[in-house]
Structure 1
Amino acid sequence: MSYQKFPLIPGQIDIVTSKGEINYKEVLNDFDSANYIFVTTYNISQKRKKLLSLLKRAADHAEVRIVTNIPNRYETYYGDKVRDKARETINNYTRKLSSNDNEEQIDSFFNFENHSKVVLTNNIAYIGSANFSEESNNNRETGFIIRDRKLVQVVIDNLVPIISDESIKYYGDSFENKKLVLSLLASRLKSAAMKVEEESYTYIGRFEEVKIYNHSDPQLREETLEVLLELMEEIEDEIYSINVLYETDEFADLIDSDAIKQIRILCSEDDNISELASFSERYYASDLIAEWNVHNEEMDEAAQRASDQSSERKQELAEAAQQDIESLFLNVQKILNSFELVIRKIEDLRNEQEISIDNT
């Protein structure tokens, strides 16, 4: 076990590094005297409860807020076991952070694009590599401890609002559960579309700020399209479950089903995009050589000719797929826009429920 610190600005900022110990233990030691605590982390402990227990105990006298991601194992599900494990993880996180568990003393948020690690009170702050998780003790973690209260306040006034504004408050009820699931699906859909873009376009300029379609050598893969198609199925399943939960068909009407159908068509087998993704220059060239029945002494020349024709074929497929790929992005955006409508409708229903409970 080791915990070492080195002054960066004496009395104000230290560098801390540790293995076998909590990297931000000095911040934890301040929990009992703090009146404000903020934590943002990529993940929390799956089974251990010590750190969350410290937060709950501090919530008796302090304003406490925690923001967490759910580990990125949800980008692709290649089977029921993986999908079931993801659901188990989501349920585990929501159970640990639900209002029923912490009696609404801790403000809990989810942020699916967060990888920041910050643990702070109004007196001392840690910014570094360690998650708010006991498992982080097993790693070599390094960060900064800020002791100057004015500098801590700078972090609270500037960094905390950025992270909080990007996050979803979790109340632990069915409405927030559905918003959470839809936001996770939206995040995965954005990632899947970005993957298609990365494999279909190239970026030029000093800072790669100009995006152009890659006619000559696109790298689009079948696995990328499979992720999109699976997401379409999950989206439809989720909307169905919302309709059943709230006993209404309104949500299905809000989702752009035509956009989902169009994406399925665009990514279907033997369509332009699928043909490009499944094309192999190596196999195509090998088939040509086999078809030509080339003699050994002509093999080098034939191999070059087959390679050239294979490249030409790939360019043809890329050109044929360009318009469909652009249409794919438009339909993805339509689905994301309709997600916003569904979330807004969920919020309206939640407000209506609150009014019906408290009819004063």
Structure 2
Amino acid sequence: MINYKIKDAEFIFSKGRLGFQTVIESFENAKYINVVTYSLSAREDFLIELLHKATIDGIPVKIITNIPGRFNEYFSERNKEKSKKNINAYLDKLNPNKFHQLLSTWFNFSNHSKIVMTDQIAYVGSANYSNLSGENYESGIISRDNGFINHLVREVIPEIESTSLNYFYSKQNEILLDCIIDLLSIEDYIQRVLTDLSKTSYYVTGKNYETGKEFNDCKGSDYDLRWNRLSSVAGVLDFFKDHMDSCYLIDGSEEMEKFKREYKLRVINIQRKVNNICLKLRETLSFNETEFAMEMFERNRVESQIEDRTSEYISFLQDLSYEEKILSKYDLKKDLIFLLDSIVEYLDAICWAKKRIKNFIESDNRTNTEIDNTLTSENKC
């Protein structure tokens, strides 16, 4: 048994409306969506369409469901055929290839729990992820407690998943789906970095590289924060390169191995460019106006000036140091454009990698044969 005390929760008792309505209204702003349910709607409905739309928008979705009508044993061919229809309906409805390879589908035949959640809000209760739930009396809780949400993601869902069957027969496809989700996270972060740098350097480069995504702490005009983030770009890309190296430790075909080598070479090449330019930018951006003014003051110290015109001379040096700082940034125009273009190149590499991974998944569409237990041994082969 797993226990957790929730700090922030609201009890929901519903009929005539989905108890998790507030959660599905937040789907479009989610970083991920998780659904744990006993059953889904018998036919295509708006709830499945919401998940489909989310994957179109690049939001990864995980579903863990039972299949009502699937039994451990069958005592007649009629019951077996009826179960087979239900199983095939679920396999067809939840085929990851229909969801742009952003749906991770799992089946758990002892699951009766119900969870509908995003990274911001969670529903836990009696309602299945089905439009029929709106017609029944259902009860549950809705919580925005970050600790509880993390608990569901790190403890509860992995526990259910550990005894579940993945949609695909190939273990590699399961790993590749996770790789696509990792790439999406990387892509999202780098897009925000690119917008960050574009806004900060626009007055120097005159070029707009904005992606439509940005960090919440940079919606104003906090240029210092943006420039400081610039200094960590190389480190961020280093981290993600290492992360992707670990993701691709997959024993695959010769074509898969070739893809891994190509991806690594692309990333290393871009990484080298970004590291070199960031080192140069760090040196320029560390320019200190006060230190520059004092150095000039000491270097050009003249006794007569010191005695009669010290304040005027210091003011002149302050203006000079400010102009020097501005000029140094304008001198960086080519370097900044090169940096921004390199980040765009990195995003292109991610896009290329996602497409290649999807092709690998589509090339092996074998469904996990343990899901449909109505098949004979001959049929499974």
Q: Which residue identity does 1:244 align to in structure 2?
A: L
1:30 aligns with 2:12: no
What's the offset of the Cα at 1:184? 0.8
1:179 corresponds to which residue? 180
Give the number of the structure whose residues are more often strand, by fraction.
1
Q: 1:134 to 1:334 in 2, by over 3 A?
A: closer
Structure 1 pair 279–108 and aligned structure 2 pair: CA distance change class (3 A): farther
Which residue of structure 2 aligns with residue 5 of structure 1? none
Gaps of 5+ in 1: 1-19, 46-51, 71-96, 125-131, 137-169, 204-208, 213-217
Distance 1:59 1:221 in 2: 46
1:61-140 to 2 correspondences below 5 Å: 63=47, 99-100=105-106, 133-135=143-145
Task: Please give the alpha-carbon distance, in whole angstroms, between the structure 2 residues aligned to 1:260 and 1:210.
Answer: 22
CA distance in structure 1 between the partners assigned to 2:361 and 2:31 by the alignment: 28
Q: Out of 18, 29, 37, which is 1:56 matched to?
A: 37
Check the 8 A contact 2:284/2:329 in 1, yes or no.
yes
Query: 1:311 pairs with 296, 309, 322, which one?
Result: 322
Equivalent position amino acid for 1:330 in 2: D
Contact 2:9-2:145 within 8 A present in 1 as well: no
**d(CA) in 1 for partners of 2:207 and 2:227?**
26
Tell me, in whole angstroms, the C-alpha distance in 1 between the residues paired with 2:224 and 2:319.
Answer: 17
Amino acid at match of 2:352: L
Name the CA distance, whole Å, in 1 between partners of 2:117 and 2:258.
29
TM-score, normalised with respect to structure 1: 0.53
Find the aligned partners of 1:40 and 1:33 in 2 and give their Cα distance. Answer: 11
1:304 to 1:211, Cα distance in 2 relative to 1, 3 A: farther
Q: Residue 243 of structure 2 corresponds to which residue in structure 1? A: 238
- Count of matched residue pairs: 253
Match of 1:253 in 2: 262
Distance 1:28 1:296 in 2: 87
Residue 49 of structure 1 is matched in structure 2 by none
Compute the displacement of 1:234 (Å): 2.3
Q: Output the CA distance in 2 between the equivalents of 1:115 and 1:199.
A: 30
Q: Is the 8 A contact 2:198 2:207 kept in 1?
A: no
Question: Which position in structure 2 is the counterpart of 1:199?
Answer: 200
Per-residue CA deviation, residues 221-279 of structure 1 (Å, 9 max, x unaligned), is: 663233310122123213422442244242331335322211111111xx2x2333212
- Say if 1:243 and 1:250, in contact at 8 Å, map to a contact too: no
- Mapped to 2, the partners of 1:211 and 1:21 lie a distance apart of 43
Residues 1:101 and 1:302: Cα distance change in structure 2 (over 3 Å): farther
Contact 1:289/1:306 (<8 A) preserved? yes
- How far off is 1:295 after superposition? 3.6
2:358 and 2:104 map into 1 onto residues whose CA distance is 18
CA–CA distance in 2 between the matches of 1:325 and 1:102? 52
Matched, 1:338 2:354: no
Amino acid paired to 2:230: L
Answering whether residue 291 of structure 2 is matched by residue 283 of structure 1, we say yes
Give 5+ residue unaligned stretches, structure 2.
1-7, 61-102, 123-128, 135-141, 147-166, 210-222, 370-379
Aligned partner letter, 2:272: K
CA distance in 2, matches of 1:175, 1:99: 13
Q: Tell me: CA distance 1:253–1:211, structure 2 relative to 1, closer, same or farther (3 Å).
A: closer
Separation of aligned partners in 2, 1:289 and 1:295: 10
Q: Distance in 1 between matches of 2:199 and 2:331?
A: 18
Taking only the aligned residue pairs, the percentage that are identical comes to 12
Of residues 207, 227, 239, the one that matches 2:232 is: 227
Q: Deviations over 1:30-74 (max 9, x none)?
A: 33799xx665276799xxxxxx89x6367477846566989xxxx
Q: Does 1:298 align with 2:309?
A: yes
Query: What corresponds to 1:14 in structure 2?
Result: none
In 1, distance between residues paired with 2:290 and 2:121?
42
> Which whole-Å CA distance do the structure 1 matches of 2:315 and 2:323 have between them?
12
Residue 278 of structure 2: aligned partner: 267
Q: CA RMSD in A?
A: 5.2
Give the letter for the 2:240 counterpart.
I
Per the alignment, do residues 291 and 60 of structure 1 end up closer, same or farther by CA in structure 2, a change over 3 Å counting? same
In the alignment, is the contact (CA less than 8 A) between 1:42 and 1:115 conserved in 2? no
1:347 aligns with 358
Q: Using a 3 Å threshold, how does the CA distance of structure 1 residues 335 and 101 change in structure 2: closer, same or farther?
A: same
Q: Which residue of 1 aligns with 2:64?
A: none
Letter in 2 for 1:336: L
Moved more, 186-195 or 255-264: 255-264
Larger radius of gyration: 2
> What is the TM-score with the length of structure 2 in the denominator?
0.50
CA 1:260–1:108: 2 relative to 1, 3 Å:
farther
